[in-house]
Amino acid sequence: MHATLAAATSQLAPITDTPRLDAELLMAHALGTTRNDLLLRHLDAATPHGFAALLNRRLNHEPVAYITGTRAFWTIDLEVGPGALVPRPDSETLIEAAIEHFARRTPRTILDLGTGPGTLLLAALDQWPEAEGLGIDASDSALAYARRNADRLGLAPRASFRLGNWAEDLTGQFDLILANPPYIGTGEALPPEVRDHEPASALFAGADGLDDYRRIVPQLPRLLAPGGAALLEIGWTQADAVCALGAEHGLEPRVYKDLGDRPRAVRLT
């Protein structure tokens, strides 16, 4: 298996920044085990029959998460697939910022706008066992993943999901509002694995990528409970624009950077 992984890593190098990791995740999936278990126990095993087919799918730019059907995020593992945006490590910046904001208390009510497969909401509910939350999405397909993830993680009693258009027709107030809206400009180039596989409705937001912030931010003052916070993921060039939009609606902005030291989240309070 050592030689197979080395060869697969070489084949994948032209199409991904993480060729060895991709190869190991695909091999673990073919073996029906975890990557950690693969590295600890199975590197001397024979290569499973199904690995070649999985590798070919990845070489055709299909996301690893769609091939394996799962993606780790924060402290949870999520089921993902076609029709749902693949969770990304950059989005964990929102959870980290929320933990900082709520260092001395628990956010009892959480709203996730554009929840996708439940990524941010379920991570937050796992972080705060006393919280309850609502996830909104315009995609029935994404919500089906979210509900299955909530069930599998044992979070369904505290998580509800609803089909909707951002905060339209939504009432009540929330301690924590999370959102990872589409923020890519319609003319921007994307890698084939994103452009050809992930849902365009979760990626693109007008010529400047800001259309959905213009829909979401004006609703935040009426939805935020006293002392609450809204955390919005942004493209790394969009901090000034989103901060200005928040200030325009009476909200105080603060920018948080991701592990690559790029602006990745705006907190509005």
Residue 68 lies inside a defined structural domain of this protein: no
First to last CA, the chain: 52
Claim to verify: residue 44 and residue 14 sit in the same structural domain: yes
Give the end of a domain, one of 20, 36, 60.
60
Mean pLDDT of the chain: 96
pLDDT in tens, 233-259: 999 999 999 999 999 999 999 999 999
- Domain-located, residue 130: yes
CA distance 138 to 197: 18
pLDDT value of position 55 = 98
pLDDT for the residue 187: 87
Strands 76-79 and 109-113: unpaired
Q: What is the CATH number of the domain that holds 228?
A: 3.40.50.150
Tokens matching residue 84: 């749902």
What is the structure's pLDDT at 165?
95
Q: Is 205 helix (H, G, I), strand (E, B) or coil?
A: coil
23/82 same-domain check: no
Claim to verify: residue 94 and residue 49 sit in the same structural domain = no
Residues 25-43 have pLDDT tens digits of 999 999 999 999 999 999 9
- The string over 39-74, giving b where at least 16 C-beta atoms fall within 10 Å of a residue's C-beta and e elsewhere, is eeeeeeeebbeebeebbeebeeebbbbbbbebbebb
Share of the chain above pLDDT 70, in %: 100
Residue 69 in any domain: the answer is no
CATH (domain of 34): 1.10.8
Domain contains 67? no
Positive or negative: CA dihedral 172, 148, 102, 136:
negative
Residues 91 and 32 in one domain: no
Q: Give yes or no: residues 137 and 49 share one domain.
A: no
Q: What is the pLDDT of residue 8?
A: 98
Whether residue 81 sits in one domain with residue 45: no
125 and 212 in a single domain? The answer is yes
Question: How high is the pLDDT of residue 149?
Answer: 98
- Whether 209 and 258 map to the same domain: the answer is yes
The reported pLDDT for the residue numbered 193 is 92
Same domain assignment for residues 99 and 207: yes
79 and 182 inside one domain: yes
The answer on 119 and 33 residing in a single domain is: no
Which residues of the chain fall short of a pLDDT of 70? none
Domain count, the chain: 2
- The parent domain of residue 18 ranges over 2-60
How many helices (DSSP H) and strands (DSSP E) are in the chain?
12, 9
pLDDT reported for residue 261: 96
Confirm whether 176 is domain-assigned. yes
Is residue 257 included in any domain, yes or no? yes
